[in-house]
Amino acid sequence: MGKHNLFLFFWFFPASVCYWYARFLDGKLNVSVHRFVNIVQLLSILSLACWVLFSNLHLIKGNTMYSGWSGTNITNYFWIHFDTQTQSIFSGVITRNTGIFLEAPMYAYTLLCALYAELFISDEHRMPVIIILLITLVTTFSTTGIIFGVLAVAYYIIRRHVTHISPVGIVMVTIVAGVSLWVIKSALSSKTGSTSATLRNDDLHAGMIAWMKHPFFGNGFNNMHVIHSSMAAWRLKDGSVGALGFTSGVLKILSDGGIYLFVAYFLPLFSFFSTALTQSKTKEKL
C-alpha cells in the first residue's frame, strides 16, 4: 500500500467521518451541507462559463499537459478548467464538462451529492441552485449522473406536490414519470454500443468476480491486481491507464473490503439521508 493510499485510508477518511459526525452532534450539519452546496454551485458556474467559452467556442487556446491518471494529453485553461474527455453526439463530437476533475463521472458524482443535499437536506430548496446543478450535470454527459439526477428531481416533485390521490395528482405523476423515462431512455440509448458502455459492462463483470473471491473481507485495500486479472483480454493487451481504469465504485469497495467495508461506507450514509428525510417531512407537517 503506497503512502498516498495510507494517507487516504488511515487519515483522510476517518477525519472526514469525524468531521461530519461532529457537525451532526453539535446541530450544525445543515450549515456544513449548505456550505458544501455553495462551493459546488460556484464550481458549476465557473465550469459552465469555461465549458461554453473555452472548450466549445474556443475563444482562447489552452495549454496541453500530460495526465498520469488517464495516460493521455489533456488541455487546461488557467488551471481552473480542464478538457479531459469528449462525447459523440448528433454525428459530431463535443467536449464533456469535467470542470476541475479528471473525468466526467467524478464531476457528476460531486454534482449529484450537492443536488441531493439541496433537494432533501437543505431547508431552503433554492430553485436557482437546483437548476444550475442540473444544467451542469447534463453538460458532463454522464449517463449515470443524468439518470440519478432525473430520478431525484422526479421524486422531489412528486413528494412535494402530490400529497393525496386526485385527478391533478395522477396527471402530474404521469407527466413527471413520462418525462423521466424519456430522458433516461435517451441517456441510455446514447451510450449503447459505445466504448464507454463496453468498458462499464466489463467492469461490472470483473468487479463481481473479484468480489466473489473474498466476499466478506475483500482482497485488500486498493488491490487492483485482482480486478485486472478478471478483465477482458483486449483491455489487458491495450495496457493503457484508460483501458485498465475501473468505473464501478460500489464493486471497488466490495472487492477491496467485502461486505465488511461496504457496511462501513454505506450504513452511515443511509442513516444520514434517512434521518434528513424524516426531519424534512416533520418540518413540512409543522
Residue-level pLDDT at 245: 65
C-alpha cell at 256: 477491496
CA distance 243 to 240: 5
Residue-level pLDDT at 239: 53
Q: pLDDT: is 202 or 55 the higher one?
A: 55
Q: Which of 41-50, 80-89, 216-225, 253-262 has the highest mean pLDDT?
A: 41-50
Residue-level pLDDT at 191: 57
Residue 269 has pLDDT above 80, yes or no: no
Residues in Cβ contact with 137 at an 8 Å cutoff, skipping those fewer than 6 apart: 108, 111, 112, 115, 145, 146, 149
Of the pLDDT bands very low, low, confident and very high (cuts 50, 70, 90), residue 243 is low
Q: Write the pLDDT tens digit of every residue in 26-70.
A: 878 788 889 999 999 999 999 999 999 999 999 999 999 988 766
Return mean pLDDT, the chain: 79
Residue-level pLDDT at 21: 77
Residue-level pLDDT at 80: 93
Sequence spans of domains, the chain: 28-192, 194-286
Helix (H, G, I), strand (E, B) or coil at 95: strand
Cα 177 to Cα 21, 77, 134, 188, 276, distances in angstroms: 36, 40, 17, 16, 25
Look up residue 192 and give its DSSP letter: T
Residue-level pLDDT at 22: 83
Residue 252 has pLDDT above 80, yes or no: yes
Cα 7 to Cα 4, 13, 39, 251, 285, distances in angstroms: 5, 9, 24, 22, 45
Instruction: Tell me what the mean pLDDT of segment 138-163 comes to.
Output: 82
Q: pLDDT: is 225 or 92 the higher one?
A: 225
Residue-level pLDDT at 150: 86
Say what the pTM is. 0.72
Q: pLDDT: is 98 or 190 the higher one?
A: 98
Q: pLDDT: is 222 or 286 the higher one?
A: 222
Residue 224 CA to chain centroid, in angstroms? 21
Residue-level pLDDT at 203: 82
